[in-house]
Amino acid sequence: MTDSRKRTLALFYCRNVPGSSETDRQAIEKATKGQVRLFPLPCSGRLEPTHLLRALEEVADAAYLITCPEGACRYFEGNRRARKRVERTREIVSAIGLEPERVGIVIGSKESPRTLTQLATEIFDKICQMGPSPALRSPATEVSASDGRRNRL
């Protein structure tokens, strides 16, 4: 049986990514009918592993981070810190039995900058190939024949 549930992506991003204004964010979310949820950050270095893990637990099949180009962070080391935190989160996700590809990072490029819309589309297409996250599956319920109450399995 195939799962017809639509995929969702939690996408955290540095506000210095080209095309990352509030208007752009709203347009992306509207165009994807809410399947891509965007979370702006003043700096990608502010992201903590708990942000990514919480997104996977509550709203998304995958959680990614888009940073400004390496060496172009206005806070000097923000995107380097972010990379380490994403790598640590991938280790945690793998240890609990999920595919580590459900968490990722895209580091912007100075030579060929891409907009938030372009990057979001690429990442979303990638996660759609993965299939649904087992972490988001709703627990099955059954109705007890004797009393009509629902019991979680």
Residue 117 has pLDDT above 60, yes or no: yes
pLDDT bucket at 4, cuts 50 / 70 / 90: very low
Core vs surface per residue 93-119: b (16+ CB within 10 A) or e: beeeebeeebbbbbbbeeeeebebbeb
Class of CATH domain 9-134:
alpha beta
Residue 148 has pLDDT above 80, yes or no: no
State mean pLDDT over 95-122.
92
pLDDT bucket at 141, cuts 50 / 70 / 90: very low
Which is higher by pLDDT, 56 or 5?
A: 56
Encode the chain in three state secondary structure: CCCCCCCCEEEEEECCCCCCCHHHHHHHHHHCCCCEEEEEECCHHHCCHHHHHHHHHHCCCEEEEEECCCCCCCCCCHHHHHHHHHHHHHHHHHHCCCCHHHEEEEECCCCCCCCHHHHHHHHHHHHHHHCCCHHHCCCCEEECCCCCCEEEC
> What's the pTM value of the predicted model, to 2 decimals?
0.83
Mean pLDDT check: name the lowest of 14-18, 63-67, 77-81, 135-139: 135-139
Can you tell me the distance from the alpha carbon of 42 to that of 60, in angstroms, rounded to the nearest whole number?
22
Domain segments of the chain: what residues?
9-134
State mean pLDDT over 72-94.
90
